[in-house]
């Protein structure tokens, strides 16, 4: 994946090549909303310690990204990404647990780039997407029980589609 960070004047500030699993890209995606996020929570989401998170934030700042840090009472840090830069659209990592075996899950979901992982109670689907509504609509059409593990925004999108579709008599969505 190629990412260009564009300044307010339209000039390219930085140009990078990353793979979607790169922790730095995941941090940028999480901070993209511009709200203050707790450093400990970010570290937990990436399965790293707080020191590693601070190193990642420092790397992003050295790359020219406007990541602002603030110390809270008790020594906890918060971070946010200033909106001065134009960033690519948010790319979501979607995790859904289908309550069926992997072979049947592969028959149900025929999306390119979906990853199937056998799980104790079914099959874990991992999909990277820019369009949560599309994924929510696909889930609505599945003929099996499932649980949306992340992101929370997909669950909201799914519920919104259900509310708009009054002809839907029932669905098999299991809230986490």
The chain-wide mean pLDDT, for the chain, equals 76
Rounded-to-integer distance, Cα 146 and Cα 66, Å: 39
Q: Which residue has the higher pLDDT, 144 or 15?
A: 144
Give me the residues paired with residue 93 across strands.
Answer: 128
| Fold assignment, 2-81 | Arc Repressor Mutant, subunit A (1.10.10)
pTM for this predicted structure: 0.47
Rounded-to-integer distance, Cα 3 and Cα 16, Å: 5
Please check whether the domain covering 92-164 is classified as CATH 3.30.70.
Answer: yes
Per-residue model confidence as pLDDT tens digits over 10-66: 544 444 444 434 688 788 888 877 889 999 999 998 888 988 898 888 888 877 788
Residue 86's pLDDT band, with cuts at 50, 70 and 90, is low
- The full set of domain ranges for the chain reads 2-81, 92-164
Instruction: Provide the 3-class DSSP secondary structure of residue 170.
Output: coil
Q: Which residue has the higher pLDDT, 123 or 176?
A: 123
- Which DSSP helix (H) or strand (E) runs through 133? helix 132-140
CB 147 within 8 A of CB 91: no
Which range is most confident: 54-58, 108-112, 164-168? 54-58
Two tokens, residue 129: 């997407």
Residue 167's pLDDT band, with cuts at 50, 70 and 90, is very low
CA distances (Å), origin 176, targets 94, 143, 157:
14, 19, 15
């Amino acid at each position: 994946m190629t990412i260009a960070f564009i300044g307010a004047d339209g000039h390219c500030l930085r140009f990078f090549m990353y793979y979607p699993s790169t922790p730095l890209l995941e941090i940028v995606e999480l901070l993209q909303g511009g709200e203050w996020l707790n450093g400990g929570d970010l570290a937990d989401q990436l399965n790293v310690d707080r020191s590693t998170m601070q190193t990642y934030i420092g790397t992003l700042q050295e790359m020219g990204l406007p990541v602002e840090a603030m110390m809270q009472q008790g020594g906890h840090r918060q971070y946010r990404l200033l909106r001065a830069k134009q960033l690519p659209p948010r790319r979501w990592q979607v995790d859904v647990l289908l309550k069926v075996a992997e072979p049947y899950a592969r028959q149900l979901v025929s999306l390119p780039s979906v990853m199937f992982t056998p799980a104790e109670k079914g099959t874990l689907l991992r999909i990277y997407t820019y369009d949560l509504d599309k994924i929510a609509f696909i889930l609505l059409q599945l003929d099996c029980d499932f649980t949306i593990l992340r992101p929370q925004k997909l669950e909201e999108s799914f519920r919104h589609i259900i509310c708009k579709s009054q002809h839907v008599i029932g669905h098999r969505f299991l809230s986490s």
